[in-house]
Structure formats: C-alpha cells, structure tokens
Structure 1
Amino acid sequence: MIAEVYPIKRLPRSMHAFDYKIPNEIQVVRGDLVEVPFRGSTLFGIVRLVKDRPERGIKIKELIAKGSIQLREEELSFFEWMAFDLAQSCSSVLHMSLPLPPKRGDTSYTPTVGTGSVTLPRSEADVLTRMIHSVKDRRELFLQIPDLKRMTATLAAYCATEPDEKVLVIVPTVQAAKAVYDCLSFLDPIVFTADQTNNERYRRWIAFRKRKSGVMVGTRIAALLPHHDLTTIFVLQSGDANHKQSDRNPRYDTRYLLWELHNRIHSNLFFLDVSPRLEDLSWFADLERRVWSRSHPASIVDLNTERRESEHPLFSQTLQRIVGETLEEQKQVLCVLNRKGTAARLFCQDCSFRFPCTTCSTGMAVRDQMLHCPRCLDSRPLPSKCPECKGVNLIELGIGIDGLCTVLKALFPSATVQSLSKDIDLKTVSEAQILVATQSYLDQMKPIQTEPLGLIALIDADQTLYIQDTRSIEETIRAFEQWRGVALNTGARFVVQTHEPELFSTILGDPEALLSREWESCRDYGLPPFRRWVRISRKEEEVRKLEVVFHQLQKELATIPTVRSRKPELVNGGMQFFCSVEPEHAETLLSFFTDLPDHYIIDTNVFP
C-alpha cells in the first residue's frame, strides 16, 4: 500500500503530495500524522490518501512512524481548499497552521489562572440581554458594539449561558487576547497566539481538541486550527487590519477563511466591531445585524466657520474653551492626531474650497506635486489658484503631533503637554495633563480596564478621508466609532473637529445610509465584494525584465473570462499589478496561479 503525504514544510505552490510505501506493521488513513524521510532529514506529514500501488518504475521510501493525531475529513479538506484559494502548496499551509509534537518532554497542558473580570453599568443590562437573545436566535450575526469591554461582556454572557458549547474567539492582537482571557478566567479558556513557542501551542491545541466544550481565545493563527466540533466562532474587533496577514506568505484574511469554515462545519459565526466593513454588508443581511443601542454623545466642531477666529487653523476656539474647562476640572485631556499614513490637503484660505475629485467628489490629497483621489485613483496637477474664487491663497493643511504640542503649550502654558507615538511608552507620559497621541494610544492602553479621561478630541477627523485607500470613508467611520467607544469606556467628553461637518453628522445620525452609498460606489468601480481582487508582485532589479514578464502574464490572464488588469507599477525592489475577476470566475483565476513560479508573490484577497 502507498500513502500520498503532504510534508509539513514550506514548499513551492506547484508541489503536491509525495508517495511513501506503508510498512506492514503500520496502518494509516487519510488525515493521519506520520513521520517520513524527506531530502536527508525526517519530517512530519499528513496523509492525503492511501492507494494500492505507486506508478510503475518509481522507487519510493517507507513511512517511518505514525503519529497520535488524525485530522478529520472536514479539517483536511479545509486545508486543501485554503491552499488552493491562497495560491499556496498544501504543505506550506499545514506548516503555517499546525504546531508539531515536541521531540521530547511533557505534552500535557497546565492552565493558568486569570485575575480580571468585566462589568458594565447597570443601565446597560437590558442592552446586553437583548444582544444575547439575538445571538442565540441566529447562526450568523454582526453585532455593532462600541468597545472591546462590551464585546467581551457579550461574549462572557453568551458562554455562561451556553456552557456545553465549544467556542473559538479570534481577536486582532496578543494584547487583546490576554485581556479577553483575563476576563473569561471563570471559563478556564485556552489562549493560542503566535508569540508562544511551538511546544506551547501544541499542548494548548491538543488540550482544546480533547475538550467536549470550552473556549479558545487566540489571534489569527488560532483561526487556522479547524476543529471539526466547533459550535460557535466569535471574531472581536472584526474590522481590525491585524485580522489579515499581508506581509508574508501565505497571505490570508482570517475573516474570509472563517466564513468558509463555518459553512463547512455548520458552526455559528458572530462578528463584533464598532462598525461594519463593506464585506460585512454582503455577508450579513439587514436582519443579521444588531446595534448596541446605548451610544456616547459627540460634539462636532466645524473648522470652516471657526478658522478665522482661531489662533491655529486646526485648533478651534470651541475646542480651546472645552480643553480649558477640562483642565479646570483637573481631568486629563487626550488630543488625537494620527499623522502616520496621511497626506496634506489643499485648502483655499479665501473661500474654504477643498478641491474635491471631479470624478467622484471625494476629497483629494496632495502628494508629489499632484492631487490624488483615494477612492477612484484619479489625479491631476496641483493648481496654482482656486477654481471657485480664483484666489491664490492656497495652503496645504497638515500638522504632526510635535507641531500640535507646540501649539498647545502656547495656548495652555501652565499645563504639562506630552506626546505619545509608537516609540514612546504610555506609562512614561500618563501623568501629562494634555496628552497628544497617535493611533498608538489604542495599542498601548488597557483595552478593557481603562483609566478615566476628561476629554478626547479628534484634532483632524478628516485625516482618514485623504489616505490613498479606497476604504477611506469606511476607515473614517471606523476611527470615529473606535474613539467614541474609548470615550464611553473612560467617561470622557468626545469632540470632533472637521471640515466635513455634514459627513460626521451623517455618521452620527444615519451611518447605514453612508455605508449604502459606499456600497453603490464599490459596485460602480468594480471593488469588493462585487469583484475579487488579486495583487501579484515580484522582486527584481531589472525593470525592463519585469515589464516583459508582467506583459506576458497579463496577456495570459486576459484569456480568463471577466478578468481585468491594472497597469503594473514600481514598488520597493520590484513591480506589482492588480487584477480582478467576477466571483463566479474566481476559481478559474485561482487555478491559473497553481503552477506559477514562487518568485511571484500572490495575495488572492485584497481591497485595492
């Protein structure tokens, strides 16, 4: 008898299973873990299938031993689907996903004891009860919940009322995993994250695999362990970018994989976040979305009307007054200005014209002496005068946290002002009366048990509107709701400064209408979920060589129905291009990638 085996090792996408002779004393079936000889060493592998005999004339090696693990059919077929969908070899996907048995030592799991808990104000008890009833009545649901604390409370209440279920909880970061674990300690959860050693992950995986019920909390790597007996999957902060692995192979989106998994094993699937993504509107119908009814008030400051009376164009008189009141109350002020990844905007000082895109009306960003639209990718030269009033008093609005600190020190000379970015520890600046922070504040703060604040002010809430990203509106909504959730959790007043007050009024009053317009824009511009987009890149110093091979590749892609390709562009050390296909023809496109050489880096699920 012959076993076809997937070696658990990084292998080129064109390599599949290898044949091994099964010794008489060993019995194996599909899904068994085995040890095999491979290129002068010994590896673990997973049996793909067992057959009667090899192809004629081929001398093959024998299996060495059989392991103690067997993947069920639902699990192994999921890995095989994943490999095809990600344009990777199944061996590489197994290598990324499965922790391997330790060579020596104890494989038993010793749980640790958490010390935290999660409590909500009594006034929100009815809201929580309503959420739990909704979850119990649905197999698929999106829950719009303002912060991680309330997401964790919802999760804890569900698990407490459904003690016989086997639950997988996926969070975006190790910090969030530890915080959620701490609050669920009464359930004896198992934590599974990428910062653990292989041996630690193996012990935890086997321990959870043996349980008939229980909870596993993990980062995206935990989503790659497809337990066939899972009853429910929760994805917390489901819109967070960390749910996708974009920087190394295999490039995968946890949310997309879990959607497929829950359909294969018939589990429940619940996404929890401050606002839905456009993909969520596709996956979860109107009847499958619920909103946490208790929200936090927000004050919107129109910078257009206040700019002439203010001492700085990005610090209004209204905000200056509110900061002063907060300091008098001896409460801390948090000013948020996320300078990373943003571009300056062109602004007419005479008439406040903001240079919208002539194609789709989105605000345009200044970069390399050009105006660029983040949505439709249109661009045009930087003008010398305003098309509205013909004035020439044009300025590029944009300020960093250091510049804002200088402004605040001048406005409030008696207050201590400090800045926080990713290279500064929050503990070293936590006593400042005014703290100027980037998005790194969210990365460093305690996500559930937070310290009280007096005021959270978004200094320039329009920043995300001008990033070079077709998700700019979606990201603006998410950032707004994320910081509003922090304000709710810390008891802080929430103030938003903007040149687009109507947009933020819509976010407050009718965000569904705004997302619906974005949905229609995605349809018009052929963006996900209406078309599936793929990015193909290659590292090569010779630009001309890349141009030739990419031209040939795009020519071959053009033979696939509905495929469209964008013009290749230079990136650091190489070149890339995007192509898209209608969903019903995606399988044909993915099949094309199966035998493509590995020097092509393929991300099969991108939002261009």
Structure 2
Amino acid sequence: MFADVYPLKRLPRGMGAFTYRIPQELEQDVARGSFVEIPWRSRMVRGVVACTHEHTPPYAVKPVRHLYDRSIDTQDLGVYEEMAQETIQSVSTLLYASFPSPRRRKTHERMIDRPEESPQDIPGPSFRKMEIDWATRLDLSTPELFVQVPDVQTTALLVRRLVHDHGKPVLFLVPHKHDLDVAAQVLANLRVAVCDSALTIPKRFDRAEAWRSGNIDVLISTRLGSTFEPPKTLGAVVIGRSGMDEHAQYDRNPRYDARRFALSWARVRQATRIITDTAPRCVDADLPSVPSPFSPPKSVTIIHLKDSVRGSDHPLLSDALIDAIRETGRNQERVLLLHNRKMSGERPASEGVEALRLALSKQIEQDIGIITAEVQDRIHAPVLIATQLYYERVYHPLRDSFGLVALLTADQLSYGLSERTSEQALRTLHEYAGIAWRSSCPLLIQAWEHALLQRMLLHPQTFFRELCQSRKDYNQPPYSTRYEVTPKDKSAWFITNPTPTQREELKNLPDSVIIKNLTWL
C-alpha cells in the first residue's frame, strides 16, 4: 500500500505530493490527513498524507518512517489544496507555514482568564456611548455581512461582543502590526493571543497549537494566523480593514490571500463571517450590511484649489486652510495635515513635506512636526504634517485627538492606472474622515477637481454602486478571474479566466516569477 504525501517544505509551485510505501504495520492507521515522517533527500521531514492507494509506481519508493499521533480532517486539508490552486503554488508550501515545527521541550502559552463582563466594560480610554450601544444592539445573526466602521477600534468592539455573546473563539485579521496593538488594547482582559510574522518558529508552534485546541478567545493576527488550522468550535471570522492589499502576500513564499483563507475556514466551520472597513470592496458588494455608527464628521469643508485665495507662496496653503489652523490653535487643539505622497512624484515624500512645513511656518506661530517614511520629527507638535504612513504606523484612535483634520490634495487619491484606484480612494478618504469623526472635529478637504470628491464623501453608496457596475460591464475583477504574471526583471502580463491548460502552464513557471491573483484584491 502506498501514500502520496505533501512534505512540509517550501517547494516550487509545480511540485505536488510524493509517493511513499506504507509499512504493513501502519496500513490500517495511515489515511488522508495523517501526519507522517518521511525521508527527504538526506534527512527526515514531516509530511501530510494526501491520499492512500495500491498503485505500485514504476520506480523504487522509500517507506514512511513514522506515524504521528495527530491528523488533519479531510475537509480541512481541502482548504489548503483549494488555496494552493487559487494562488498557483504548492500545497506543501502552505502546509509548511501553517504547521510550524514543534518545540523540543514543550511549553504552554500563558493566557489571561476571561472575566465575566459585558461589552460596556471597556478598559482604557472611553468609547462614545452611542458606539457602545450600537455594538451591543447590532444584529449579528446573519452568517456573512459587511459592516462599515471608522477604524479598527470599532471592529475590535464587535469582536468583543461576539466573544461575550457566544463564548466561542474568534479569528480577527488585521493588515498591519500597528493594528494589532490597537485591537489588543480594546480586547484586554480576554484570552487573547497576538500573531504576526515576527514570531519565532517555536512561538508560532505554541500559538498554532493553543489556537487549534480552543485555548484562545481571540487570535488577533496579520496574514500568518489565517493559515493556522482553527478550532472545531470557531465562532466567527472578523476581517478588519478588509480593503488593504497587505492582507495578501504574493512577492514571496508562502503566497496567499489571508482574507480568502480565513473565509474558507469560516465556511468549513459554519462560523459567522464579518468583513469591516471604512468602505466596501466590489467583492463584498452583494453582502448584506447593517446600520453603521460611522457618519460624516460634524463639519466638512471642500476647498477648490483652482479658485482659492492664497496669501502663501505654496500652492497647497489656501487662506481658508491657514485661517482654520490658526483658529484651531487658539482653541488649544492639535491639527493634522495629511499630505498625499503622490504629490512628491519621484522624490522622497519628506522633501515635499519639509517644503510645506517651511512655507507654513511663515504663516503660523505653532510648532510643526512631520511624519514620513524617511523622517519623524516632533510628532507630538500642535500641528502635524503627515503622509499615509501616519495612519498605518502611528495613529491610535484610543489616544490621538485633533481639533482639525485636513486633507491637502484629496483628488490625488483617485489618480492611478489600476481599476481598483477609485475603490482604494473611497476607502482611504473615509479613513481620514474617520479620524475627524473619532475626534468630533471638522474635516477640511482641498482638491483641484472637487466634484468627484464630493460624490465619494457625501454620496458614497451611489458612487460605490456605479463603480461596481462599471467593473462588471468591463469584465474586471472580481467579476472575472485575473492573474498578473511578473517575470524577474521583465514587465508584467495578464491572463483572464485561465483554462485548465493555462493553469498548468502557470504552475510550471519558476518561483522567481511572481503570480498574483487579482480577483479578490
């Protein structure tokens, strides 16, 4: 009797299962999903059995050396096989990431016991009462839904509600490590484990085992946690900031989209699926939605830069903006000026921000700080000029508050060649609006072409429906399956709705070729 085995190794995308002979004493015990030890070149490695059969191969095969006292369900193994097919890579590579090597001396994760509490018992800085009431009363009985939220903090509030109501484990995915920190603070006092790619292999093993055994209330994770086999009692999968590309990894092994992985686990476990962001993606267009606590800030001003009066020699410093900054300073409140990175062209963003700071310093008396990828200077100053990096790595909705949020060149968000540019611009614009909403402060938006921005901010649902219809009319993802293929040091090419033959051709490409599934991004 023979077994086709997926070695737990990073293997090229064209490699599948390898055949091994099952010793007679193990024939009754080895089955699909069994973990075994197999010889691989000059050493022994772990593997997962894909299937067993009695077809004698026309070459000599090595025997299975050991059967481990654990296995993975056939249905669960099918999730890994499905994800490998979607991303054109080997099943072995995904399994290698999902089942880290065990410690030689086993230790146990320390978890905080979950107290008896209600969603209102939130530690740390307070939420708005209406936000807590909304999370408490929200109908979460629908198996899958989209929820519009202002930030990760509100998503974490929903996770807390799910754990309190159902007492079942929740997988909470976020795109960045900074989001992990925000979510963990909201979920303090639950049995929470945090997981990201910085964990050592032994710690990954501990996290994966504690999660699989159900000893964790909430696994808050960036991409990696989505690959771990979840507990049988999984209650919900919650995806925060679902529109961020960082949920997917295609530039190196293992290649996968964490959102797809997590939602597949939810379907297998029949768990609730909640997708959240400041605005939906077209792939989520058909999902039911619920009333959101998020509404436009109390005051929104859109300044048309073509017609605005400027007392400064800098094109982005309109008189209306400078007056608003001065007024906010008189009220002893902070100002956040968001400077779109694209305005800096090929130059480092810090050059454009530094020039803006110099020009603004001639108009106001307050100290001015800057945050870019290259420079972080006086970040607690009364006036802060920042790129998108501020939102991704610094901004903390439980801590940071402003008296004015201003987006200096908003229409630059919608400039780009991708069909997803408008979708991403809608989400980013509402992320910035969420900062103003959280601070209960005015939002000031400057634009060269303000009509599009008005529709995106004031009529987002209409804009979104038209956007999705346009992509459907032109057979663009997610209404078609599209792969972007980028050979090393060459231009990318695209393939839409590949045939089985074309898929096999893609699998035979070397791993140096990046194959990105654009369907779900």
Same fold (TM over 0.5): yes
In structure 2, the residue matched to 1:11 is 11
SS in 2 for 1:407: helix
Q: 1:70 offset after TM fit, Å?
A: 1.0
Which residue number in structure 1 is paired with residue 131 of structure 2?
124
Partner of 2:157: 153
CA offsets per residue over residues 150-193 of structure 1, 9 Å max, x none?
22112212221111x22111111122223322322322122222
Q: 1:196 to 1:273 in 2, by over 3 A?
A: same
SS at the partner of 1:154? helix
Q: 1:468 aligns with which of 404, 409, 417?
A: 417
3-state SS of 2:306 partner: helix
Whether contact under 8 Å (2:10, 2:253) holds in the other structure is no
Q: 1:342 to 1:139 in 2, by over 3 A?
A: farther
Q: Distance in 1 between matches of 2:13 and 2:69?
A: 28
Aligned-residue sequence identity (percent) comes to: 27
Among 456, 471, 479, the alignment partner of 1:530 is 479
- How far apart, CA to CA, are the structure 2 residues paired with 1:306 and 1:342? 19
Residue 202 (structure 1) aligns with: 205
Matched position secondary structure for 1:314: coil
> 1:534, CA displacement in angstroms?
0.7
Shift of the 22–606 alpha-carbon distance from structure 1 to 2, 3 Å rule, reads same
Alignment partner, residue 574 of structure 1: 490
1:234 deviates by 0.4
Equivalent-residue separation in structure 1 for 2:66 and 2:60 (angstroms) = 19
Find the residue that maps to 1:335 and give its secondary structure.
strand
Task: Give, in whole Å, the separation in 1 of the partners of 2:509 and 2:142.
Answer: 42
The structure-2 alpha-carbon separation of the partners of 1:443 and 1:213, relative to structure 1 and needing over 3 Å to count, comes to closer
Measure, in 2, the Cα distance between the counterparts of 1:108 and 1:415.
52
Match of 2:361 among 401, 409, 412: 409
**Offset of residue 81 of structure 1:** 1.3
Structure 2 equivalent of residue 74 of structure 1 = 75
Quick check: 2:411–2:453 contact (8 Å CA) kept in 1?
no
Q: CA deviation at 1:507?
A: 2.4
Map of 2:436 onto structure 1: 487
CA distance in structure 1 between the partners assigned to 2:277 and 2:249 by the alignment: 19
Structure 2: gaps spanning 5 or more residues: 115-121
CA gap of 1:342–1:405, structure 2 versus 1, over 3 A, is closer
Q: TM-score, normalised by structure 2?
A: 0.90
Residue in structure 2 matched with residue 62 of structure 1 by the alignment: 63
Question: What is the number of equivalent residue pairs in this alignment?
Answer: 507
Q: Distance in 2 between matches of 1:168 and 1:23?
A: 39
Deviation at 1:532, TM superposition (A): 1.6
1:447 and 2:363 aligned: no
The answer to whether the 8 Å contact 1:119/1:153 transfers is no
**Cα 1:228–1:449 shift into 2, 3 Å:** closer
CA distance in 1, matches of 2:381, 2:218: 39
Amino acid at match of 1:602: I
Q: Distance in 2 between matches of 1:526 and 1:501?
A: 29
Equivalence for 1:386: none
> 1:113, 1:325 → 2: CA distance?
48
SS of residue matched to 1:400: helix
Contact 2:98 2:229 in 1 (8 A): no
Q: Cα distance, 1:249 vs. partner? A: 3.3
Q: Does 1:188 align with 2:158?
A: no
Alpha carbons of 1:68 and 1:296: their partners in 2 closer, same or farther (altered >3 Å)?
farther
Find the aligned partners of 1:606 and 1:406 in 2 and give their Cα distance: 44
Q: Residues 6 and 18 of structure 2 are in contact (CA less than 8 Å); yes or no, is this contact kept in structure 1? A: yes
Query: Kindly tell me: are residues 157 and 112 of structure 1, through their superposed partners in 2, closer, same or farther at Cα, counting changes over 3 Å?
Result: closer
**CA distance in 2 between partners of 1:225 and 1:185 (Å):** 23
- Partner of 1:508, secondary structure, is helix
The answer (yes or no) to whether the contact 1:142–1:290 under 8 Å persists in 2 is no
2:237–2:263 CA contact under 8 A, matched in 1: no
Deviating above 4 A after TM superposition, structure 1's stretches of 4 or more consecutive aligned residues are: 112-118, 307-311, 341-344, 585-589
Change in Cα spacing, 1:48 to 1:99, as seen in structure 2 (3 Å) is same
Is 1:601 equivalent to 2:517 in the alignment? no
In structure 1, C-alpha distance between the alignment counterparts of 2:355 and 2:502, rounded to whole Å:
49
The offset of 1:305, in angstroms, is 2.5
Shift of 1:53: 5.3
Query: Do the aligned residues in 2 keep the contact of 1:252 with 1:605 (CA within 8 Å)?
Result: no
Instruction: Note closer, same or farther for the CA distance 1:293–1:451 as it changes in structure 2 (3 Å cut).
Output: closer
Question: Which of 397, 416, 422 matches 2:373?
Answer: 422
Aligned to 1:13, what secondary structure does the other structure show? Answer: coil
Alignment counterpart, residue 244 of structure 2, candidates 203, 225, 240: 240
**AA in 2 matched with 1:191:** V
2:39 pairs with 1:45: no
Q: Are the structure 2 counterparts of residues 415 and 233 from structure 1 closer, same or farther at C-alpha, using a change threshold of 3 Å? A: same
**Cα shift at 1:499:** 2.2
2:40 is aligned with 1:33: no
Aligned-pair distance for 1:501?
2.6
Superimposed CA distance per residue, residues 209-238 of structure 1 (whole angstroms, 9 cap, x where no aligned partner): 112773211111111124262231100111
Letter in 2 for 1:257: F
Q: Cα–Cα, structure 1 residues 12 and 55, in superposed 2: closer, same or farther, change >3 Å?
A: same
SS class of match (2:14): coil
Q: CA RMSD in A?
A: 2.7
Secondary structure of the 2:285 match is helix
The amino acid across from 1:223 in the alignment is S
Residues 463-488 of structure 1 deviation map (CA, whole Å, 9 limit, x = unaligned): 11223332222222112110111122
Residues 473/150 of structure 1: CA separation in 2 closer, same or farther (3 Å cut): same
Q: Give distance in 2, aligned partners of 1:292 and 1:588.
A: 48
Aligned partner letter, 1:489:
R
What's the counterpart of residue 117 of structure 2? none
> Which residue pairs with 1:392 in the alignment?
none
Contact 1:74 1:265 in 2 (8 A): no
Post-superposition Cα deviations, 1:416-443, rounded to whole Å, max 9, x if no partner, equal 1222112334xx5133222111111112
Please give the per-residue CA displacement for 1:314-370, whole angstroms capped at 9, x wherever unaligned: 22211111111111122221111022x4576xxxxxxxxxxxxxxxxxxxxxx9xxx
Counterparts of 1:445 and 1:45, CA distance in 2? 42
8 Å Cα contact 1:192/1:218 also seen in 2 = yes
CA separation in 1, counterparts of 2:38 and 2:65? 5
State the TM-score, normalizing by the size of structure 1.
0.77
